[in-house]
Amino acid sequence: MEDFWAAAIWALEIWLYLIISTIMIPAMFGFSLGISETYMTILVQTLEWATLKIQKANADERTLKSSPSNGLIQREDGSMEKELEELRRSRPKPPVGGDFTLSDCFYFTRRGIESIVEDEVTQRFSSEELVSWNLLTRTNNDFQYISLKLTLVYGLGIFVRYCILAPLRITLACIGLTWLVIGTSAVGLLPNWRIKFWLSEWVHVMCYRICARGLSATIRYHNRENKPKKGGICVANHTSPIDIVILCNDGCYAMVGQVHGGLMGVIQRAMVRSCPHVWFERAEMKDRHLVTKRLKDHVNDKTKLPILIFPEGTCVNNTSVMMFKKGSFEIGATIYPVAIKYDLKFGDAFWNSSKYSMVSYLLRMMTSWALVCNVWYLPAMHQQEGEDAVQFANRVKSAIAHRGGLVDLQWDGGLKRAKVKESFKEQQQKQYSSMVVGDDSSSNSD
């Protein structure tokens, strides 16, 4: 029995030495030994081969084409007003009663049924459907048995993901978080000299890089000259809690959030010792004036790190950008927009919090092939004269959506769990009423 435990300890030591020498030390100093690049090359070639096999086997039944939307309903671009105007041009205008004709009812009925079957909000909180199978999960394309080779590759992939990648990634995640707690706690004991702030940033970035390597993250950063600077606010679209790891892998930020208990609370308390993050108690989060004041105090101090905020307030499936909360745009600080776009082919980064817990989500990510994404730093934006916070937020949101190739939606992400406000219903009813009655309503009422 003693020989068994001695052999187990020896194997564990070899395992840790390999991780430290080949992954952790290169990650700490921001370079790579080429292992990740080789893995990604093999992975890309394997997925391309599998895709060709599937396309060849299904050539007579279907043609796999990428489309901007994999939804059930193919909606045409354009607003309801333009569509209704085009329909009304093809028929004579009524002599009285405005522009309304009985056939308008069919148009509104069709749009209503479309919204019930597949509305713009609900589909943003479910995983985007793949065009082709990525050897991870089945898709709605309902692929059947193709060949023995593809089945063997799929079985080999299960072994690699669960027996090699998962233990490696769990080990790296545990080491990265442990080092983050120990490192930030130790740095927090130093006096507030310049070296303390330098060490704090280095510890944060080092630990996030270790965690990123643990997810086999391949991140391409674009336009680094626009990176957020101290005294500003970085805002980005939100797909996953891993967004923080992606951004902090290239620089250090001050976090904003609610104080938690348990393991998350331990990490928060350790981080705030070395860096002025902005944590709020649950009761404080409801006080908008207090939140705004603390954020203003932070950005007015040009020595503090830029604040990282996800104004959507919830995770969206990386196909669109939903309404930005106006709070961070009322401060009057410089806004640094960032667009993040994940490649679904290597793994689904979207966190469906209503379906998966945080632990199960992280396990899914650690058993996926890799985490591949692009990050674009956009030029700094400022609130223009005569522009309120809502207009400013919408302008920033549109810039992020355009750069990331995402759909720009006006809907509030809070609709994921909450009901639509009565004021918004009334606004939509007025809009529909004006479309039904037409422009002659005001003249007729006179």
Partners of 309 in beta bridges: 235
Partners of 308 in beta bridges: 234, 255
CATH number of the domain that 250 lies in? 3.40.1130
Q: Are 237 and 406 within 8 A, CB to CB?
A: yes
Residue 73 lies in a domain: no
Give phi and psi for 147, each to the nearest 5.
-160, 165
Total count of domains within the chain: 2
pLDDT for residue 69: 46
Residue 140 lies in a domain: no
pLDDT by residue for the chain (446 residues), tens digit each? 777 788 888 887 787 777 777 777 777 777 777 778 888 888 888 888 888 877 776 664 554 444 444 444 555 555 666 666 666 666 666 655 556 666 667 777 777 777 666 666 777 777 776 767 788 865 444 455 677 888 888 889 889 999 988 988 888 888 888 888 898 888 888 887 888 888 888 888 888 888 888 888 889 999 999 999 988 999 999 998 899 999 998 888 988 877 777 777 888 888 888 888 888 876 776 777 888 888 888 888 888 889 999 998 888 888 889 989 888 898 888 999 999 999 888 888 898 888 888 888 888 889 999 999 999 999 999 988 888 889 999 999 999 999 999 988 888 877 776 677 777 777 777 777 776 666 544 444 44
Residue 8 lies in a domain: yes
- Could you tell me the strand order of the sheet in which 232-236 lies? 217-222, 371-377, 334-342, 232-236, 307-309, 254-258, 278-280
Residue 211 lies in a domain: yes
Q: Give how far Cα 308 sits from Cα of 2, 14, 214, 230, 254, Å.
A: 51, 39, 23, 11, 6
The alpha-carbon radius of gyration of the chain (Å, integer) is 26
Domain check: are 152 and 5 in the same one?
no
> Using alpha carbons only, what angle is made at residue 411 by residues 410 and 416, rounded to the nearest 5 degrees?
160
Domain check: are 10 and 155 in the same one?
no
Tell me whether strands 232-236 and 334-342 are parallel, antiparallel or unpaired: parallel
In eight-state DSSP terms, residue 381 is: B
pTM over the 0.85 mark: no
In eight-state DSSP terms, residue 163 is: I
Q: Are 346 and 369 within 8 A, CB to CB?
A: yes
Domain extent, residue 179, equals 148-423
Domain check: are 158 and 15 in the same one?
no
Residue 442 lies in a domain: no
Q: Determine how many CB atoms are found less than 10 A away from the CB of residue 136.
A: 20
Residue 273 lies in a domain: yes
Domain check: are 19 and 152 in the same one?
no
In eight-state DSSP terms, residue 217 is: E
Give Cα 70 distance to the centre of its chain.
Answer: 19
Phi-psi region of 332 (alpha: psi -120 to 50; beta: other; left: phi over 0): left
| Cα–Cα distance, 107 to 229 (Å, whole number) | 50
Residue 324 lies in a domain: yes
In eight-state DSSP terms, residue 356 is: S
Helices (H) and strands (E) in the chain, counts: 16, 9
Residue 59 lies in a domain: no
Convert 271-280 to b/e letters by CB count within 10 Å (16 or more is b).
Answer: bbbbbbbbbb
| Cα–Cα distance, 279 to 291 (Å, whole number) | 10
